[in-house]
Structure formats: structure tokens, C-alpha cells
Amino acid sequence: MDINLLLSAALTGIFCYLGAVDSAPLLGVTGGFYVVGRPLVAGFLTGLAFGDVKAGVLCGLAVQAVFIANLSTGGATNSEITYASYGGLGLALATTKDPAVAVTLAILIGQTFGLIFHNSKQAFFSFFNNRAQKAAENADGKGIVYNHVIYPQLVIFIIRFLPVTLAIYFGKGMVNWLLNSVPHQITDIIAVLGGVLPALGVAMLMSIVIKQKIQLIFFFAGFVLIAFANLSTLALVFIAALIAYLVYIATSNQQKQPLAATNLGAEIDTSKDDAAYEDEDMF
């Protein structure tokens, strides 16, 4: 038994529980889902668990780019990002530490096993909700606490900690066997697709954020500055903030001008009416 791998896998499973949207210790979405549950943070924490923070952050960046435009609309989700983050990153760090492999594993785990366990959790919760409602009708305080807090948290911990821990511990050998057994052309294709998927995530985000095609100029300008002017990302952030402020001032002035013209026209019409009334009074 590989104790080091088991401990790293167990820590990753605990982080997966803490990053859940309904995890109590970190207040759900407040410190869990939107902080610990993000792939970039997951990469850092998983890197700590496996003793390689740099590789964890690099893999987390790649996975974060894929899921950067992931939305849950009306309670429906197309991928469970927490399972994808910790399951995919944990397996990647346990095997190749390749960001492309991490992306592939994250998508596979998030869109298959993650959704299965997520839907199973919802089914369990409906059972506890009925019990909690009956306890409330009977004024049973302990029953409310157990069925509304204790039992659901146990279910969340079990269906997150155990699958992720076991997948990393027992999946390491399987992933290594697959990567060593399949032809190198297949692994090259996986690497290429894994590198393209982050770009797809950024493109999805751009389709949401960019409202006018003319705004693509700013994106290409930033790309050129980084690729050819060798600017750092931090420097580009300050330049982008300055440009955004200038654009905001320009657009706000354009919106004020029609309003000022409308007010001026109203004042002119009012003065004409007053003059007409004065003429009528004189005669």
C-alpha cells in the first residue's frame, strides 16, 4: 500500500467536500463553491497535497480556463466542477502532471461521475427533506437538526470524499497503463485537444461578455501586447483598467448629450409658450 498516495488522495477528497456548494464548514457558496471549489484554487490545494504546488497551479489554470464560462441555469448543470477539479487534478498530479491530461480527466470525471453523484445527492436530500418537514410538524428540534444538517452533511462527505479518494488511489495505475498502452498518436491527440479546450472556455466567456463585435479589438490588442511586446499580465491589467475607464467616460458623455439636448428643447418650447401667453394678455 502506497501510504503517501493514500494520504494525498484523502486530502484531495476532503478538499472536494469543502468545495461543495452545500458544504457547511465553509458556508457553502461563500467560502466553498466559489473559493475552494474553483479549479485554480483546487490546483493549489491539490498541489499542496501532492507536494508539487507549481504543477498543481499549472494544471489548475488549464482546467479553470475550460470551466471559466460554466453556468448552472435554473439549477441544471452540465458538469460538476468540484468533482472535475479535484478528481481530474488529483489524477493528473498522481500520474503525468501534464495540464492537457488534467483537462481531459477533469472533463471526463465532471461530466460523468460528477453528475451521477450530484443527482444521487439530490435524491437523498429529498428523503431527508420529508423527514425534516415531519419533524417540524411534530415540533421535534433534534429531528430537524439531524435531517436538515447532520445527515445531509454526512451524505455530502461520503459521496465526495470516497469517490475522489478511491479514484485517485486506484485510478493512478489505470491511467498510467492507458497512457503507456495506447499508441502515441492517441496521446498526441489527447494533448492537442487538452490544449484547445482552455481556448474554447475563453471563447465561451467572450461570447457572454462581448456585446458588440467592435469590442474584439481590445481582446486582440491585449493578445498582441503580451505576445509581441512581452508585457507581463500585471502590466496589461493596469493598461486594460485605464482603457476601460476612458471608454466608460466616453460612453457616459455620449449618453448625457442627447439628454441635455432634450432638456434644452423642452426649455425652448416652454419659453415660446410663455411668450405666447404674454402676447395674449397684452391684447
pLDDT at 72: 66
Contact criterion met (CB below 8 Å) for 88 and 3: no
pLDDT at 269: 54
Contact criterion met (CB below 8 Å) for 25 and 37: no
pLDDT per residue as tens, the chain (283 positions): 789 999 999 999 999 999 998 899 998 888 999 999 999 999 999 999 999 999 999 999 999 988 887 766 665 666 789 999 999 999 999 998 999 889 989 988 988 888 888 888 888 888 999 999 999 999 999 999 999 999 999 999 999 999 999 999 999 988 888 777 878 777 777 777 777 777 777 788 788 788 888 888 888 888 888 888 888 888 989 999 999 899 888 888 776 666 555 555 555 555 545 544 444 444 4
- This prediction's pTM: 0.77
The x, y and z cell numbers of residue 167, run together, are 479514484
Please, what's the largest Cα pairwise distance for the chain? 110
Strand ranges (E), 4-81: none
The x, y and z cell numbers of residue 200, run together, are 474554447
The x, y and z cell numbers of residue 88, run together, are 481530474
Burial 160-195 (b: 16+ CB within 10 A, else e): bbebbbebbbebbeebeeebeeeeeeebeebbeebe
Q: What are phi and psi of 76, to 5 degrees?
A: -95, 145
